[in-house]
Chains A and B, each alone.
Chain A
């Protein structure tokens, strides 16, 4: 927990921190391709390799927001191309309800993004990351779960 707390303090030289959940069969390879073909894109995203976009639990998204990440990208194979046949379809339903529900609660929709990127779409991957980063830059730092003044626990106030 502690080492993430500095995320929550806005600085003047603020750069968004993003987390990307990339499917190892497509988007992760797509990211590799973007690298090997020397495509430039913002270096704000920390990548987590997942076996399938269907592995991404709504808990992961929430936990990332709770830890102070400014944006989340979930990327998997195009519909019909899942290595496990149906994983990305399931991910789509899950991400859709999570995103819409968080929007209702007051989370900016720009923070939760999803894309289909295949292993041959290095260019698309670079574009997606650029767009997502710019979108998050516009909405600003994630202060959703930040401790408000006078809202800490007693133990914290005592210092």
Chain B
């Protein structure tokens, strides 16, 4: 935690200097949220607001999403996954590199509060404290302390993380941390793959019949930056707007195809889903398909061309007869 405090202090100083010197018009970071433990994005022009900036194990949002919505030069706090999303936006010419000042945060994984609630059987308001040290998370409830390994409490996408420390940054706020890449993260997908095709389709039919089409997954996704989404098109109407499972599933399939090669497996879609549809199992599979077929990893190299605008003369053998 001490490391986080130091990083926090450095971040506040850097952010203040950036705004004071007019190097950026806006600063995007995290501040404490109104709910216990939670943080919320802080988007500000005011240098005094930078005192509220925090870095801890609950900075869940992918702030890259705001870059496409804000005009002017922006200073931004970026974990490994955020930095990949930013690079991906740079690759797509959505953001100019010189317009962003990236303050990189070496990340050691974020704690999933819903996993904490499941594990302890208590609501987050009833918990006194959650502290983290290395691979151990200590949860304090009613004065009793209990230790859990991080593999039980981190987000799935954090357990699968390939780039915890940003590769593209202007200032790195701490010491680089090693990738986690724990196979636990892939369990859900492996289990699905062992089912027969009809069963798999049945699983998605069941999951997506819960969908209320709030489009939270689309709105938090930094890769979903279309001015007008295909679901809102009426002529032709690709997808019926009522939340029926067929249309919900079609929406998710197309959304994942649209973000193929941009999706960095940041897990925001699954986190934002109010009805807990395992959307990461869709997104991650697309990420893996793209990696396997075209050796493409989104957001790793800002000079690489975007996936679907580029081609090699010989690739994806066996798809065309």
Contacts and interface: CB of A to CB of B under 8 A. Distances in A.
Same complex: yes
Interface of A: 58-59, 62-63, 66, 79-80, 86, 89-90, 92-108, 113-116, 128, 131, 144-145, 147-148, 151, 153
A98 B246 contact: no
Contact residues of A: prevailing secondary structure = helix
A106 B311 contact: no
B123 interface: no
B72 interface: no
Contacts, number: 101
A144 B202 CA distance: 9
Nearest to B308: A93
A90 B256 contact: no
B197 A106 contact: yes
A93 B314 CA distance: 11
24 contacts: A66-B250, A80-B313, A90-B311, A92-B320, A93-B308, A93-B311, A97-B286, A101-B256, A101-B286, A103-B197, A104-B193, A104-B285, A104-B289, A105-B200, A106-B195, A106-B198, A106-B199, A106-B200, A106-B201, A106-B203, A114-B319, A115-B320, A128-B321, A145-B250
A59 B202 CA distance: 21
Given A62-B250, A115-B320, A106 B313 contact: no
Given A63-B238, A105-B204, A144-B201, A89 B311 contact: yes
A92 B319 contact: yes
Interface centre among A66, A92, A105, A113 (most CB of B within 10 A): A105
Given A93-B316, A114-B321, A151 B209 contact: yes
A89 B316 CA distance: 10
B257 A101 contact: yes
B184 interface: no
Contacts of B308: 90, 93-94
A99 B205 CA distance: 19
B313 A145 contact: no
Contacts of B195: 106
B254 interface: yes
Given A93-B316, A106-B204, A153 B242 contact: yes
Contact of B253 (A92, A93, A100, A102): A102
Contact of B246 (A66, A96, A108): A66
Contacts of A100: 289, 293
Interface string B158-194: 0000000000000000000000000000000000110
B169 to A, nearest CB: 30
B230 A59 contact: yes
Contacts of B294: 93
B212 interface: no
B319 A58 contact: no
A62 B321 contact: no
A153 B256 CA distance: 26
B311 A97 contact: no
B223 interface: no
Interface centre among A58, A96, A114, A147 (most CB of B within 10 A): A96
Interface in B269-313: 282, 285-286, 289-290, 293-294, 307-309, 311, 313
Contacts of A116: 320-321
A101 B200 CA distance: 12
Contacts of A66: 246, 250
